[in-house]
Amino acid sequence: MCLAVPAKLVQQDGQQGIADLHGNRLPVNTMMTPEAQPGDWILIHAGFAIERLNPEQARETWALIADVEKAAEATDRAMMTKTKSTLSTGRGTGGMS
């Protein structure tokens, strides 16, 4: 699965920039977003700024990512519980105990 994430552009030199992603500084290419300036929120995918965002869009995107992460964690917990239950009852082992 591919994912683009919001980050704040903090430095720029031509088409190369540095983005702040929750305290992590990452190199980013801004050739696809020539209007982006330091201080702007950008959407990053595979090292490229692919879109300029307003602060509200950045917050909304991070909230959606957090929701997806919580759902994935809940699914993982449910799968682990089901697997442990299956193993402890001997079901799913091909009749072997």
Residue 96 domain-assigned (yes or no): no
Q: Which amino acid, 46? A: A
Taking the model in full, what pTM does it have? 0.69
C-alpha dihedral (66, 24, 29, 63), degrees to nearest 10: 10
What confidence score (pLDDT) does residue 30 get?
Answer: 98
Assign residue 90 a region: left if phi > 0, alpha if psi is -120 to 50, beta otherwise? left
Residue 95 domain-assigned (yes or no): no
- Specify whether the CB–CB gap between 37 and 54 falls below 8 A: no
CATH at residue 55: 2.30.30.140
Strands, E assignment, the chain: 5-13, 16-21, 24-29, 41-45, 48-53
- For the chain, how many structural domains are there in total? 1
Residue 37 domain-assigned (yes or no): yes
Domain that holds residue 65: 5-89
Residue 85 domain-assigned (yes or no): yes
Residue 97 domain-assigned (yes or no): no
Specify the DSSP element, H or E, that contains 59: helix 55-89
What confidence score (pLDDT) does residue 92 get?
Answer: 57
Higher pLDDT, 73 or 89: 73
| Model pLDDT for residues 2-60, shown as the tens digit of each residue | 789 999 999 999 999 999 999 999 999 999 999 999 999 999 999 999 999 999 999 99
- Judged against a pLDDT cut of 80, whether residue 97 lies above it is answered with no
